[in-house]
């Protein structure tokens, strides 16, 4: 029996006279190759000079497409770690931009490793950052350790701490036949726990993370900002962001270069519990102050440790 892909099936089913041979009983038509080109998080603050005049948020063209998100870097399981995301938190989600098939024709089994689950479902997406205004899409949602019931407790109970890194391979199967059609893989290196709208000083925030079994992130865990160019000033001098570095005191969308760098403005993820335009403590010091990082654009500022930004914890 012949298995024919549609890219050359017409030729195989055509007689020498050029007419379609309707009498071939040994041929099965298969769909064209199903391809995932992009993994799409929040796209806001991902363009050059558009979201904010003169600020370059977009990563390199071989990494980031301002209208589609992160390009798939590898389909080889040995190098899934090159793909987005490398960081995660409970309730965050991203979309798989798939060619040659309607997302409703695929079914995906949830994948769980180390207490973190990635679930893929098709939805009608209407997020503000979509250039289409709305579309049917395969959406990946992350669920894992969180502490929403303990945000007001200065001495919270320890929660599960995932053993990382963990490799996640998502397999899309034909909803009718169960045949595997497409895969997407990524490696989570860090897991973050959000204190949501609770504001507190640095000492209490550090204790909160420690009691949970986590730590306060460093600047480089959150952003690839550097203290040059746009929004440069004394407030960011001495800060050390992730690499590859941005072009100024803001993130530039890259894979593996910080939590906010990868996910963009986290307040836009419905149900994830992040707060609009707010600073999050880091453990990095600036003299007798602490650096904090803005969750919208990843810029770095110093802050008196007695002040009350918001808290975010990361795996040790």
- Scanning 78-158, the segments in alpha helix (DSSP H) are none
Q: Are the CB atoms for 171 and 140 separated by under 8 Å?
A: no
Mean pLDDT of 186-193: 99
Indicate the SS3 state at residue 25. Answer: coil
pLDDT tens, residue by residue, 104-156: 999 999 999 999 999 999 999 888 888 777 789 999 999 999 999 999 999 99
Q: How many CB atoms lie within 10 A of CB 244?
A: 15
Q: What is the pTM of this model?
A: 0.88
244 preceded by a cis bond (ω within 30 of 0)? yes
Beta-carbon contacts of 230 under 8 Å, excluding residues fewer than 6 positions away, are 54, 55, 56, 247, 248, 249, 250
The C-alpha atoms of residue 33 and residue 106 are separated, in whole angstroms, by 13
pLDDT tens, residue by residue, 234-265: 999 999 999 999 999 999 999 999 999 999 99
Q: Are the CB atoms for 96 and 141 separated by under 8 Å?
A: no
Bridge-based pairing of strands 27-30 and 2-5 is parallel
Q: Are the CB atoms for 192 and 311 separated by under 8 Å?
A: no
Q: pLDDT class for 280, splitting at 50, 70, 90?
A: very high
Which of 287 and 110 is assigned the larger pLDDT?
A: 110
* Strand order, beta sheet including 180-188: 106-108, 166-174, 180-188
Q: pLDDT class for 103, splitting at 50, 70, 90?
A: very high
Percent of the chain with pLDDT over 70: 90
Per domain, the residue ranges of the chain are 1-30, 35-314
The C-alpha atoms of residue 30 and residue 220 are separated, in whole angstroms, by 46
Tokens standing for 167? 């490799």
- Scanning the chain, the segments in alpha helix (DSSP H) are 9-12, 202-212, 219-222, 259-263
> Is pLDDT at 162 greater than 80 in this prediction?
yes
User: Within 13 A of 218's CA, how many CA atoms are on the CB side?
Assistant: 12
Mean pLDDT of 217-231: 97
pLDDT tens, residue by residue, 194-206: 999 999 999 999 9
The C-alpha atoms of residue 155 and residue 26 are separated, in whole angstroms, by 69
Q: Are the CB atoms for 58 and 86 separated by under 8 Å?
A: no
> Is pLDDT at 211 greater than 70 in this prediction?
yes
Q: What is the pLDDT of residue 132?
A: 73
Long-range contacts of 75-78 (CB under 8 A, 24+ apart): 75/183, 75/185, 77/167, 77/169, 77/185
Q: pLDDT class for 276, splitting at 50, 70, 90?
A: confident
The C-alpha atoms of residue 294 and residue 297 are separated, in whole angstroms, by 6
pLDDT tens, residue by residue, 6-44: 333 333 333 333 433 443 334 334 456 889 999 999 999
Q: What is the pLDDT of residue 52?
A: 85
Q: What is the pLDDT of residue 174?
A: 96
Averaged confidence pLDDT in the chain:
89
Q: Are the CB atoms for 56 and 48 separated by under 8 Å?
A: yes
Q: What is the pLDDT of residue 17?
A: 37
Phi, psi of 148 (to 5 degrees): -60, -30
Q: What is the pLDDT of residue 10?
A: 31
> Is pLDDT at 5 greater than 50 in this prediction?
no
């Amino acid at each position: 029996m012949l298995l024919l892909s549609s890219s050359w099936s017409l030729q195989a089913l055509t007689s020498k006279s050029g007419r379609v041979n309707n009498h071939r009983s040994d041929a099965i038509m298969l769909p064209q190759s199903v391809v995932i080109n992009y993994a799409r998080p929040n796209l806001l603050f991902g363009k050059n000079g558009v979201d904010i005049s003169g600020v370059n948020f977009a990563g390199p063209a071989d990494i980031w497409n301002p209208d589609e998100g992160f390009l798939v870097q590898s389909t080889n399981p040995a190098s899934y770690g090159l793909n987005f995301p490398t960081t995660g938190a409970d309730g965050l989600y991203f979309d798989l931009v798939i060619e040659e098939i309607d997302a409703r024709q695929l079914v995906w089994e949830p994948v769980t490793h180390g207490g973190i689950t990635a679930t893929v479902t098709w939805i009608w997406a209407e997020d503000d950052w979509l250039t289409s205004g709305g579309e049917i899409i395969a959406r990946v949602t992350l669920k894992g350790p969180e502490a929403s019931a303990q945000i007001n407790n200065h001495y919270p109970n320890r929660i599960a701490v995932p053993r990382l890194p963990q490799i996640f391979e998502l397999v899309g199967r034909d909803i009718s036949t169960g045949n595997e059609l497409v895969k997407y893989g990524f490696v989570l290196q860090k897991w973050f726990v959000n204190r949501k709208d609770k504001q507190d000083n640095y000492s209490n925030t550090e204790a909160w993370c420690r009691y949970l079994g986590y730590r306060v992130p460093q600047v480089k865990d959150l952003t690839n900002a550097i203290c040059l160019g746009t929004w440069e000033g004394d407030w960011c001098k001495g800060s050390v962001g992730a690499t590859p570095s941005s072009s100024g005191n803001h993130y530039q969308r890259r894979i593996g270069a910080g939590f906010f760098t990868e996910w963009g403005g986290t307040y836009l993820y419905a149900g994830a519990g992040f707060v609009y335009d707010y600073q999050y403590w880091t453990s990095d010091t600036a003299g007798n102050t602490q650096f904090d990082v803005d969750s919208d654009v990843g810029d770095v500022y110093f802050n008196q440790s007695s002040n009350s930004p918001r808290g975010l914890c990361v795996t040790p």
